[in-house]
Structure 1
């Protein structure tokens, strides 16, 4: 399966309106209850589609040239507006949420934590945490793969950020708080009024937010008071100085810590969880992956040094990122008048670049709904066709970190275990800022490297 070098794209891009908006709430019920089903319906109405979220209008973009323009035209499309205000309430004004005017300085401050020289140290943490996770598994047991993946990647993110001074209990408290926050944040972004209604869910959310902020602030204070370089991300950030010799304040450190944990936990966990389900539903791909792992590892645990010798494993991760990009909908707000697909947009217009739709365009990827890792080895990817980490100056600073972690986790789990879905129902994504599958109970079967393992083809063997 070869991808076209220059895909034939609609010219000019089409603008349309999503039908079926309800009075007052617009398309919110569909976005909250069945987000992917709703998104899959949008390309039939245009490359830029007008959608109503309550009383607000948003413009969902899936055309590759327009997605690139929104990402790179930073004088017109900014990270501002009510949606980002809600995200900043959780993450603070960190690299992932700050306006464009502050982004370059923040990226320079955070860049040392992702220097290539540190990747070996981080991947060693990833491998150790994956071994610790799977050591608790028992043959015949049923685990929620989505929850286990989140537990793994949060542990890796916390250890990479705070290698010293955090107890297992404190790490678990941060993980639990983050999970509550991430579940509640999407609802608050698409329906801000929900936070004004007294409810048990609101109390849980606010309690988790308080625990998160208190926990991170305590760790930052302990590091600053200790004055010791622990060789981790927070120690590096404590040493950052701007051109005036000023270091980051406690509040700025807390904001960046939140960015690092979110980027290193929720995004990567969704990739691992989706990949394990896709492999369970596609036995041929699973068998080929295990064959590569058996040949390279010969029964031993995977190490960071093995990554260059696992091309098919990397292709499985790439294909998972194509089908289910964690950053599935990236928002920008116009700060001056412009147009998209021939339609004028006044200042303050909300634009959503939908990478989920971009990655499933037929002009870019033949049989776009098919899980086909082979497509990555058989041809080049068209320009702007695959953007799971964004592009331009705002591209995710942790792309290498997340890709390495997902590849290591997938290799470690798949080489030792076969995971079979307990139910034949396809996953139902939980609405979050990150495109994560919902609960996925799977039964564990231990495998001997080199031995064939029977796999139930499952309901998704022909596509996703």
Structure 2
């Protein structure tokens, strides 16, 4: 369990070394984004970096991260990460400014009420069984691609249950291209670069059009039918604010794309990394198999099984610590302020990184070690230390949904299959808006209990 961090020391400020003329720290960030950001903590608690013409402040101390995430009127959703994401995904719950957030959150909260989780979990279990039903002993699969297919099927099914082939909607490729495009624009925000007709920009524009066409068609079909299918899209169309107003088609589109991105990227990345961690830690994997054999006895995992699968849950938590999908996020100051005793101008871009926090040795002993048992203690980490789902009023609305999906998928697959990555090639993160692994293969072996 992480250290309960309370410091009375003065918070330090510094400028990261190694900036290049014109480009700043962008080349270093492009070479190895997560590790470059994690290394900034060695320079201070609040570290300035340059990305092309932009100066950004990276918050490296958990106390300051807590302030950043809880004082959302001063530190609003904005900055380079959010602005580029907003251009791509619209003004959904994850990217909207504080002025829109309360209304959106209140309207969407019923869709994620805990009473709805068992129904979503039943759909998740069906898609997990359908995906793994086509696997054969000895198959060699691209693990991230397989996990994306699974998470796409689950997310689309929960969003669009009325669609006969929701799991096969062509959203995965489009979402992947959009996420990659956001990452490129975030790292090197040169003026006008988005409009240059490069192959990457053309793919990005085409993917955005494809997403728009898919979601617009589904929204129109649902509105025409006027039926409550007890899925997320029906909830969005039926949501009303305090004045009785519903969401416009554009607002529904933005929320759908937001949920698609969060549901697909987060779970797929988490599961992909989990298989690499379990393969490298066979003792933990054997304990997981024992837990699943004892509780499930050969049947599929269900929502009511989760309380009896504590190791499964801890593996998900530890995977999210080591590889948080939303590894870097941004805020913008709405007024001139201070953070840790250091002045920030109005309109400043402020970045924080769960990856950076989760790799601090003073917060997590032996931070690079995969140790699910560090979560055995009942104490909760102080706010601002473990932040895979954010903090405060902007904490991820789908946290329970995503955690349930990841645990069910991990349990449903590991109960029947061993996933062994091909040796000899280290798995590294790709350059994307989320901390997803680059393609790697693994051999599937059917387990005999």
TM-score, length-scaled by structure 2: 0.95
Among candidates 148, 151, 157, match of residue 149 of structure 2: 151
Distance between the aligned counterparts of 2:132 and 2:60, measured in 1? Answer: 38
Unaligned runs of 5+ in 1: 450-464
Matched, 1:322 2:321: yes
Distance between the aligned counterparts of 1:187 and 1:10, measured in 2? Answer: 38
Distance between the aligned counterparts of 2:396 and 2:354, measured in 1? Answer: 14
- 1:36 deviation in Å? 2.2
**Equivalence map 1:28-67=2 (5 Å):** 28-67=26-65
Contact persistence 2:144–2:440 (CA under 8 A): yes
Superimposed CA distance per residue, residues 52-90 of structure 1 (whole angstroms, 9 cap, x where no aligned partner): 111111111121110010001122101134543321222
Contact persistence 2:417–2:445 (CA under 8 A): yes
1:178 maps to 175
Q: State the secondary structure of the residue aligned to 1:420.
A: strand
2:360 maps to 361
Superimposed CA distance per residue, residues 345-388 of structure 1 (whole angstroms, 9 cap, x where no aligned partner): 10111111111111122222111111100011135233122121
**Equivalence map 1:158-307=2 (5 Å):** 158-165=156-163, 167=165, 171-193=168-190, 194-307=193-306
Q: State the secondary structure of the residue aligned to 1:93.
A: coil
Identify the range of structure 1 (157-166 vs 245-254) with the bigger mean alpha-carbon deviation: 157-166
Distance between the aligned counterparts of 2:273 and 2:352, measured in 1? Answer: 21
Contact persistence 2:6–2:63 (CA under 8 A): no
Distance between the aligned counterparts of 2:227 and 2:166, measured in 1? Answer: 21
Identify the range of structure 1 (112-121 vs 187-196) with the bigger mean alpha-carbon deviation: 187-196
- 1:165 deviation in Å? 3.0
Among candidates 43, 65, 68, match of residue 66 of structure 2: 68
2:76 maps to 78
Distance between the aligned counterparts of 1:390 and 1:323, measured in 2? Answer: 15
Q: State the secondary structure of the residue aligned to 1:331.
A: strand
Identify the range of structure 1 (159-168 vs 122-131) with the bigger mean alpha-carbon deviation: 159-168
1:407 maps to 407
Distance between the aligned counterparts of 2:392 and 2:216, measured in 1? Answer: 32
Distance between the aligned counterparts of 2:260 and 2:153, measured in 1? Answer: 9
Change (3 A) 1:159 1:298: same
Q: State the secondary structure of the residue aligned to 1:192.
A: coil
- 1:152 deviation in Å? 1.0
Contact persistence 1:9–1:363 (CA under 8 A): no
Contact persistence 1:147–1:439 (CA under 8 A): yes
Distance between the aligned counterparts of 1:84 and 1:381, measured in 2? Answer: 28
Contact persistence 1:322–1:356 (CA under 8 A): yes
Distance between the aligned counterparts of 1:145 and 1:341, measured in 2? Answer: 42
2:391 maps to 391
Distance between the aligned counterparts of 1:109 and 1:338, measured in 2? Answer: 32
Unaligned runs of 5+ in 2: none
Contact persistence 1:158–1:261 (CA under 8 A): yes
1:452 maps to none
Which aligned segments of 4 or more residues in structure 1 are displaced greater than 4 angstroms?
none
Q: State the secondary structure of the residue aligned to 1:382.
A: coil
Distance between the aligned counterparts of 2:298 and 2:82, measured in 1? Answer: 47
Among candidates 85, 96, 105, match of residue 98 of structure 1: 96
Q: How many residues are matched?
A: 446
Q: State the secondary structure of the residue aligned to 2:170.
A: helix
Change (3 A) 1:48 1:113: same
Q: State the secondary structure of the residue aligned to 2:171.
A: helix
- 1:323 deviation in Å? 1.1
1:457 maps to none
**Equivalence map 1:419-438=2 (5 Å):** 419-438=419-438
Q: State the secondary structure of the residue aligned to 1:365.
A: coil
Matched, 1:446 2:443: no
1:458 maps to none
- 1:96 deviation in Å? 0.6
Contact persistence 1:3–1:380 (CA under 8 A): no
Identify the range of structure 1 (239-248 vs 91-100) with the bigger mean alpha-carbon deviation: 239-248
Contact persistence 2:358–2:364 (CA under 8 A): yes
Distance between the aligned counterparts of 2:102 and 2:27, measured in 1? Answer: 37
Identify the range of structure 1 (187-196 vs 300-309) with the bigger mean alpha-carbon deviation: 187-196
Contact persistence 2:47–2:58 (CA under 8 A): yes
1:460 maps to none
